[in-house]
A and B are shown apart, each in its own frame.
Chain A
Amino acid sequence: MYKELFDVVRNKKANVVIRLSDMANIPFDPDNTDYQAYLKWLEEGNEPLPADEEK
């Protein structure tokens, strides 16, 4: 399970997702294998939890 992250500095959704099993910050980098696994998880029809404090 993953959770989106909000960038309070830029006031927008971050290009990072949190993997809740270990609270790892996964960047949206196509060369990152954890991000590749996240994309595959999305393709399977899953959706991440929304970020805590969207403004």
Chain B
Amino acid sequence: MPIILDGTAGITTPMYGGSIAANAVTPVTGFKNRLINGAMVIDQRNAGASVTIGAANAYTVDRWQIISSAASKVAVQQNAGSVTPPAGFTKYLGVTSQSAYSVGSGDYFGIVQSIEGYNIADFGFGASGALTITFSFWVRSSLTGTFGGSLYSNNASPYRSYPFTYTISAANTWEQKTITVVGDTGGVWNTTNGDGLQVRFGLGTGTTYSGGTLNTWQNGNYVQPTGSTSVVGTNGATFYITGVQLEVGSTATSFDYRPYGTELSLCQRYYQSNYPSGVAAGSNVGTEYELYTAAYYGPIAKAQCNVIKFFPPLRASPTITFYNRSGTSGQWYWGPYGAGESSVSTTVPNPGSNCGFVAQGNSPLAGTNIGYGYYTASAEL
């Protein structure tokens, strides 16, 4: 790999042949890319399986949420369609339209990542001196034309939006796009553990969530500019993205590859489970991977409790869902293992914290027992 020393650009390393020809050398450590799982490699929830999105927002690959106002309009899958990712990547997030849907005024469809406030605090948004940031990504679609998205903050009313467009010139071809955004000197921005800044790729929105002045920060909730291509409007249309990066500065630099374990740990601040890698939550997985936890007979008859500690701690006290070995939600097996065990309602009797929780089941038997099963913990934004 050549290294170029330049009095203007500093040290650069041309790589990968995308539209970002020269890539500034950056430290190995740090957090250049403020987006997590931008290469779409972590998929704890679905383990690569396709998910048809309902009429509610849903997470797919880690940290990436599909916003959806109507059911069954898009299916989403890591590496949908099994096309070859752009050079340097092995995974992508793929959306496939399930119908030719004409969006109503209040409809919205898109791909969103919410960046936690702590991770954009140095941007200085909301005051003079706000930093310029650059957003880059690889995209591939069966459609061509002008597509849209936005950067967005819902921290405080009035909300702030920055609508942008980009052009896909060739169908079914990976293209790299770069969008540079002057920092917002207006608005009130979250800089702690709340929703700091959202990156949104529009897949089709009605008039309520379309519009705004292009490439300008303004009040309002615009998912994409008016006239953007509607992916959900064409049955079978595909829209794939990967290598998504948001960084400080006015130039897009090489993708911030982080160790897999580091990326997984970053994701687990927002979602974690005791399912093994490659197994989707709620699967019928049998007993092989069950979490066994010693339980004690509680002070009240039939209250069996045990303590589970999170690693890493989550962003907030998480929503916890229990599953038994068959995938039935809300239950664990309790009692002596094997004969005498019983799958019963299991709950969290108090909120616990972002560091751990107590599981409580109603065992049919008194005495020393164990509780075993699976759980997911979600503290997404």
Contact = CB atoms under 8 A, between A and B. Distances in A.
Interface of A: 5, 7-11, 14-16, 18-19, 22-29, 31-35
Contacts of B381: 33
B350 A10 contact: yes
Interface of B: 193-194, 298-300, 303, 305, 315-322, 329-331, 347-352, 360, 378-381
A26 B244 CA distance: 31
A32 B318 contact: yes
B360 A27 contact: no
Given A5-B349, A16-B348, A24-B319, 10 more contacts: A7-B349, A9-B303, A10-B350, A14-B348, A14-B349, A22-B329, A25-B321, A29-B317, A31-B317, A34-B319
A31 B300 contact: no
Contacts of A35: 319
Contacts of B379: 31-32
- State the 8 A-B residue pairs at the shortest beta-carbon distance, nearest first: A23-B330, A27-B351, A31-B316, A29-B317, A25-B348, A27-B317, A7-B349, A8-B300
A43 to B, nearest CB: 16
Nearest to B351: A27
A16 B303 contact: no
Contact of B303 (A8, A23, A26): A8
A16 B358 CA distance: 12
Contacts of B378: 34
A9 B318 contact: no
